[in-house]
Amino acid sequence: MADFITKLPLAMGYDSILVVVDWFTKMAYFVPTTKKTTVEGLAQLFRDNVWQLHGLPESIILDKGLQFVAGLMRELNELLYYNLIITNGHLLCL
């Protein structure tokens, strides 16, 4: 699962936190970012802070609109060279 904590006081140039939680291990990652993070930026944050350590997940749950999720899928395809599909708000890696 991934979500943003936003509207935080500015600290070292960051005003938001990307929170990623692995439901299986309950491990959580907190990545500083800004409220202006784009889809491209989100894909890079995942790649650099979560996937590089643990590999690709089986699925990702995002509380965002379909356009945002579709954009994230495109970026992930380009960054990671994987085929991804969306089903019921989940991204599945093939």
At residue 82, the pLDDT reads 62
84-87 β-sheet, strand order:
59-61, 90-93, 84-87
Domain limits, the chain: 2-93
Residue with tokens 């960054």: 79
* Class of 2-93 in CATH: alpha beta
Which long-range contacts link 66-72 to residues 24+ away (Cβ below 8 Å)?
A: 68/39, 71/39, 72/39, 72/42, 72/43
At residue 93, the pLDDT reads 56
pTM recorded for the entire structure: 0.70
In 3-state terms, what secondary structure has residue 22?
coil
Pick out the chain residues at pLDDT < 70.
56-60, 63-67, 69, 81-94
